[in-house]
Amino acid sequence: MKERRPINTADDHGTEAGTGGRVRGMRGRLRRRSGKPLPGVKVLPTMMTLANLVCGFAAIYYSARAGESGGPTPFGWHPLTVAGVLVFLGMAFDAVDGSLARLTRSTSDLGAQLDSLADVVTFGVAPAFMMLRLVSVYYGGTGESQQATILGPDAGSLYARLCWSIAAIYICCTALRLARFNVETASAAEDDHRWFKGLPSPGAGGAVASLTLLHQHLVLVTWKDELPAGFGATSSLIIPAATLACAFAMVSRVRYPHFVNRYLKGRKSIPTVAAAMMVVAIAVWWFHESLAIAMTGYALSGPISSLFRRTPAADAPAA
pLDDT tens-place string over residues 70-88: 667 888 899 999 999 999 9
Residue 24 domain-assigned (yes or no): no
What pLDDT is stored for residue 139 in this prediction? 83
Q: What is the pLDDT of residue 187?
A: 58
Between 176 and 103, the more confident residue is 176
What per-residue confidence (pLDDT) applies to 216?
92
The reply to whether 25 falls in a domain is: no
**Range of lowest pLDDT (26-40, 123-137, 179-193, 295-309):** 26-40
Please count the other Cβ atoms lying within 10 Å of the Cβ belonging to residue 262: 13
pLDDT: which is higher, 171 or 310: 171
Whether 270 is in a domain gets the answer yes
Structural domain contains residue 72: yes
pLDDT band at 41 (very low <50, low <70, confident <90, very high): low
**Sorting pLDDT into bands at 50, 70 and 90, what band is 191?**
low
pLDDT digits (tens, 9 = 90+) for 219-276: 988 888 788 888 888 889 999 999 999 999 999 999 998 766 565 565 666 776 777 7
The answer to whether residue 20 is domain-embedded is no
105: domain range? 33-315
pTM here is 0.79
Contact status, residue 94 vs residue 25, Cβ threshold 8 Å:
no
Q: Domain count of the chain?
A: 1
Residue 147 lies in a domain: yes
Predicted local distance difference test score (pLDDT) of residue 298? 93
**Residues sharing a CB contact under 8 Å with residue 270, sequence separation 6 or more, in sequence order:** none
Q: How big is the chain by its Cα radius of gyration, in Å?
A: 26
Taking only the tens place, the pLDDT of each residue in 248-263 is: 999 999 999 876 656 5
For residue 44, what pLDDT is reported?
Answer: 87
> What per-residue confidence (pLDDT) applies to 6?
47
Is the model more confident about 297 or about 15? 297
Share of the chain above pLDDT 70, in %: 74
pLDDT recorded at residue 42: 73
**DSSP tally for the chain: helices H, then strands E:** 12, 2
Q: Confirm if 208 and 100 have CB atoms less than 8 A apart.
A: no
Residue 285 lies in a domain: yes
The answer to whether residue 28 is domain-embedded is no
Mean pLDDT of 164-192: 84
**What pLDDT is recorded for position 5?**
47
Cα separation, 301 vs 297, in Å, equals 6
